[in-house]
Amino acid sequence: MLDWWLPPNVSTFGQEIDWLFHLIYYITGVTFVLVFVTMLAFVIIYRDRPGRTARYTHGSTPLEIAWTVVPALILVILTMLSVPAWSRINMHVPPADFDVNVTAKQFNWQVNYPGSDTVFLDEMHVPVNKVIRVHLRSQDVIHSFFVPQFRMKQDAVPGRELVRWFEVMKPGKYEWPCAELCGFGHSGMRGWIYVHTPAEYAKWAAENLRAGAKPAAAPPEAEPKKEEKPKK
């Protein structure tokens, strides 16, 4: 199956989203071609030529019923496929292995782990193949937690805590932009999510998440942690 410009997906529910995306892509693609070919054909065949008379007709009830019922059926099927997937992704958080607090502000992501006071700026470290539960907040305006390769997006709303989750299948470093206009520094507000193998993660946690520990020096595979400062 072609990717159709989608960045490669690495999360579990991302597969469901991509499957639906492709399904809709093919349905709309076929509809588009059918409508366009029909329209082009009509425009060419029925163009004004000497001696042509137009057909005098006001419509056809069977046709009206057909082109009401067929699109309706396709849309009912799409609804029946979309709603359960939505429910699995956004309404039922599976038993979480791991909790992370994310508080957005102009123009950074602040990440904090339960049991540790350390606040990481614009970076999050998580293990692979675990259900990560994100507690998402904002301290000023609305931001949006967007990780393209996870197919995950959730607005962070000031005054609310929203709980969402993800599970990544492949270790790596993933870009984490803000997707909701949040002020003059909106563009460039982004962090990185580091997905580690269990061994690497244990090493990172031991160095960085001991209760009361100061933020350690940068772990070898990560960028140096930024001090809290306004956008460059």
Partner 1 sequence: MSASSATAHAHVEHAGHHELGFVRTYVFSTDHKMIARQFLFLGLFMMIIGGLLALIVRWQLAWPETAVPGLGAILKETGGILEPSTYNMAFTMHATIMIFFVIMPILAGSFGNFCIPLMIGARDMAFPFLNMLSFWVTASAGVIMLSGFFVEGGHAAAGWTSYAPLSAVPSYTGVNWGQNIWCISLFIMGIGSMMGSINYITTIINMRAPGMRLFRMPLVVWSLFITAILLLLALPVLTSAVAMLLFDRTLGTSWFRPSGGGEPLLWQHLFWYFGHPEVYILILPAMGIASEILPVFSRKPIFGYHAMAFSMISIAFLSWVVYGHHMFVSGMNPALGMAFTVTTMIIAVPSAIKTFNWLGTLWGGRIQFTVPMLNALAFVSMFVIGGLSGIFMASTPVDIYIQDTYFIVAHIHYVVFGGSIFGAFAAIYYWFPKMFGRMMNTTLGHLHFWPTFVFFNCTFFPMHIIGVGGQMRRIYNPMQYEFLQHQQHWNVFITVSALCLGLGQIPFVVNFFWSLFAGLKAPMNPWNANTLEWTAPSPPPHLNWGPTLPTVYRGPYEYSSPESKEDWLPQTAPPVAAAGARRH
**Which residues ranging from 165 to 204 are in contact with partner 1 (CB under 8 A)?**
175, 177-188, 190
By the rule CB under 8 A, 91 interacts with partner 1: yes
Could you tell me if 135 and 99 are in contact, meaning their C-beta atoms sit under 8 angstroms apart? yes
By the rule CB under 8 A, 111 interacts with partner 1: no
By the rule CB under 8 A, 26 interacts with partner 1: no
- Kindly state the DSSP code that residue 149 receives in the 8-state scheme: G
By the rule CB under 8 A, 160 interacts with partner 1: yes
Shortest CB 195 distance to partner 1, Å: 15
By the rule CB under 8 A, 56 interacts with partner 1: yes
How many Cβ atoms sit within 10 Å of the Cβ of residue 145?
A: 25
By the rule CB under 8 A, 32 interacts with partner 1: yes
First to last CA, the chain: 41
In the bound state with partner 1, the residue whose beta carbon lies nearer, of 88 and 210, is 88
Shortest CB 103 distance to partner 1, Å: 13
Helix or strand or coil: residue 99?
strand
In the bound state with partner 1, the residue whose beta carbon lies nearer, of 181 and 217, is 181
Shortest CB 28 distance to partner 1, Å: 4
Alpha-carbon distances, residue 35 vs 44, 64, 118, 189 (angstroms): 14, 16, 58, 42
By the rule CB under 8 A, 98 interacts with partner 1: no
Q: Which residue has the tokens 């979480």?
A: 96
- Kindly state the DSSP code that residue 133 receives in the 8-state scheme: E
By the rule CB under 8 A, 89 interacts with partner 1: yes
Q: Candidates 117-125, 127-135, 153-161, 200-208 — which segment interacts with partner 1 by CB under 8 A?
A: 153-161
Alpha-carbon distances, residue 50 vs 39, 46, 47, 64 (angstroms): 21, 11, 10, 31
Q: Candidates 44-52, 109-117, 127-135, 209-217 — which segment interacts with partner 1 by CB under 8 A?
A: 44-52
Helix or strand or coil: residue 151?
coil
By the rule CB under 8 A, 211 interacts with partner 1: no
In the bound state with partner 1, the residue whose beta carbon lies nearer, of 56 and 229, is 56
Q: Which residue has the tokens 């305006």?
A: 141
Cis ω before 150 (30° cut-off from 0): no
